[in-house]
């Protein structure tokens, strides 16, 4: 991200939305809405003085609502560009006309409450779609107790808890009482490979859960992890070796059998009910925390953007690409890569991105 942010030929338009794209001279003209940050990007150095004194606290979306942020905030520490943003919906000044503490604290004079949304146009020879993914909302899957059992969380929530920059400083603390979680159950295919929700494999979940279980043991040598699965689909280079390493070196226990129900046990400790398909017995297991590997889906912004661009999507919302040239969409000059065109992991996303960049470059240079 730093390399991209510093590159003289790359202009990053963060906090912006593509509103309209039209054909122009064999290429495209895009209308982009630059949303008002109420902070001047060229002046802000993200020192944090403004945020430190801001009196308003709201749930932090980047930390999955597990922590809080201020009304003037940095979306996340490593973000590019590293610029503060004022949340207009929760800012006291916009609500009451009083406060402006952040403006007084900013030594650079970067806070600008008069800033307005603005639209710019960009002429482009090619467009690459890389809109990523969203994660399925687990609340409809009531058998897992998400939202009603406090110590049932999603994989993304786990990622924020275990991260050193997260709301708990990297300590895997239970939401119910703040105590350290020692016994964890990871539920695979929560919504994936399910005719009621997403009948496809989300591709990345098995490896993510193995990695998360390894991280849990590294943070807490006393932790024990159970991964419940129908079957493990570790199909990348050395992925099977990674699974074996998790079992042998980190003590991960792989249980073949999908969980039927999670109940709330004593002291808010979830009780997992499942059928072990190897022994053909119904068993129960009390753990400190349950982590749901939710189905991965196209980004929530992917369908509206596809309509704007005239790009075809399938029944799930994934961008349809050509079988012969997998980075090409139905619109000449628009290419796609990564999870927006179907479930894939990081190495595959990188390879697809290189292919899309190559096709786009060839088109712009007239070499396609």
Q: What pLDDT, in 10s, does the model give residues 233-285?
A: 988 889 999 999 999 999 999 999 989 999 999 999 999 999 999 999 999 99
156 and 119 in a common domain: no
Over residues 330-366, the pLDDT tens digits come to 999 999 999 999 999 999 999 999 999 999 999 999 8
CA–CA dist 362, 368 (Å, integer): 5
Instruction: CATH number of the domain at 139, please.
Output: 3.50.50.60
Structural domain range at position 245: 134-297
103 and 163 in a common domain: no
* Residue 76 within a domain: yes
142 and 290 in a common domain: yes
Indicate the pLDDT class of residue 125, thresholds 50, 70 and 90.
very high
Rg (CA), the chain: 23
Over residues 23-34, the pLDDT tens digits come to 988 899 999 999
CA–CA dist 276, 7 (Å, integer): 53
C-alpha angle with apex 214: 209 to 219, nearest 5 degrees?
125
Q: What count of other Cβ atoms lies within 10 Å of the Cβ of residue 133?
A: 19
**Global pTM exceeds 0.75:** yes
Map 114-178 to HEC letters.
CCCCEEEEEEECCEEECCCEEECCCCCCHHHCCCCCCCEEEHHHHHHHHCCCCCCCCCCECCCCC
**Which residues, 6+ apart, have CB-to-CB distance to 322 below 8 Å?**
328, 329
Beta strands in 169-269 (DSSP E): 183-190, 224-229, 253-256, 259-264
Question: Which of 98, 124, 150 lies at the terminal end of a domain, its last residue?
Answer: 124
Over residues 6-20, the pLDDT tens digits come to 999 999 999 999 999
Q: What count of other Cβ atoms lies within 10 Å of the Cβ of residue 150?
A: 16
Residue 37: CA atoms inside 13 Å, Cβ hemisphere, count? 22
Please list the residues that pair with 30 across neighbouring strands. 21, 122
77 and 14 in a common domain: yes
Per-residue pLDDT at 1 exceeds 70: yes
270 and 139 in a common domain: yes
141 and 106 in a common domain: no
Over residues 137-168, the pLDDT tens digits come to 999 999 999 999 999 999 999 999 999 999 99
79 SS3 class: coil
Question: Which of 81, 99, 124 lies at the terminal end of a domain, its last residue?
Answer: 124
* Residue 322 within a domain: no
CA–CA dist 197, 144 (Å, integer): 15
Question: Which of 101, 124, 147 lies at the terminal end of a domain, its last residue?
Answer: 124
CA–CA dist 216, 223 (Å, integer): 7
Nearest to 119 by CA among 9, 233, 6, 19: 19
Q: How many domains does the chain have?
A: 2
Q: What is the pLDDT of residue 25?
A: 87
202 and 116 in a common domain: no
191 and 95 in a common domain: no
Nearest to 190 by CA among 221, 235, 144, 129: 144
What's the mean per-residue pLDDT of the chain? 95
* Residue 169 within a domain: yes
Q: What is the pLDDT of residue 368?
A: 66
């Amino acid at each position: 991200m730093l390399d991209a942010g510093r590159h003289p030929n790359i202009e990053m338009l963060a906090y912006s939305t593509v509103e309209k794209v039209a054909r122009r001279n064999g290429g495209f003209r895009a209308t982009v809405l630059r949303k008002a940050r109420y902070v001047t990007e060229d002046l802000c150095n993200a020192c944090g003085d403004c945020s430190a004194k801001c009196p308003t606290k709201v749930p932090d979306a980047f930390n999955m609502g597990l922590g809080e942020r201020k009304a003037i905030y940095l979306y996340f520490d490593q973000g590019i560009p590293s610029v503060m943003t004022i949340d207009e919906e929760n800012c006291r000044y916009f609500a009451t006309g009083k406060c402006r503490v952040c403006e007084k604290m900013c030594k650079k004079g970067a806070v600008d409450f008069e800033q307005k949304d603005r639209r710019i146009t960009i002429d482009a020879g090619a467009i690459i779609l890389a809109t990523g993914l969203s994660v399925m909302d687990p609340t409809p899957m009531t058998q897992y107790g998400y939202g009603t059992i406090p110590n049932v969380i999603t994989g993304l929530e786990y990622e924020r808890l275990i991260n050193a920059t997260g709301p708990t400083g990297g300590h895997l603390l239970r939401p119910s009482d703040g105590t350290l979680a020692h016994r964890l159950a990871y539920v695979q295919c929560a919504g994936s490979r399910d005719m009621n929700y997403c009948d496809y494999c989300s591709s990345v979940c098995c490896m993510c859960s193995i990695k998360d279980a390894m991280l849990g043991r590294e943070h807490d040598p006393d932790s024990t992890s159970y991964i419940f699965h129908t079957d493990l689909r570790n199909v990348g280079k050395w992925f099977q070796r990674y699974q074996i390493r998790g079992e042998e070196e980190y003590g991960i226990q792989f249980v073949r059998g999908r969980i039927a129900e999670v109940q709330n046990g004593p002291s808010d400790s979830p009780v997992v009910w499942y059928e072990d398909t190897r022994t053909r017995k119904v068993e129960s297991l009390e753990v400190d925390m349950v982590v749901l590997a939710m189905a991965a889906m196209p980004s929530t912004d992917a369908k509206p953007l596809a309509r704007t661009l005239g790009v075809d999507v399938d029944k799930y919302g994934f961008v349809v690409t050509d079988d012969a040239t997998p980075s090409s969409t139905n619109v000449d000059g628009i290419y796609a890569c990564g999870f927006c065109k179907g479930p894939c992991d990081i190495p595959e996303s990188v390879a697809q991105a290189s292919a899309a960049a190559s096709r786009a470059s060839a088109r712009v240079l007239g070499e396609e």
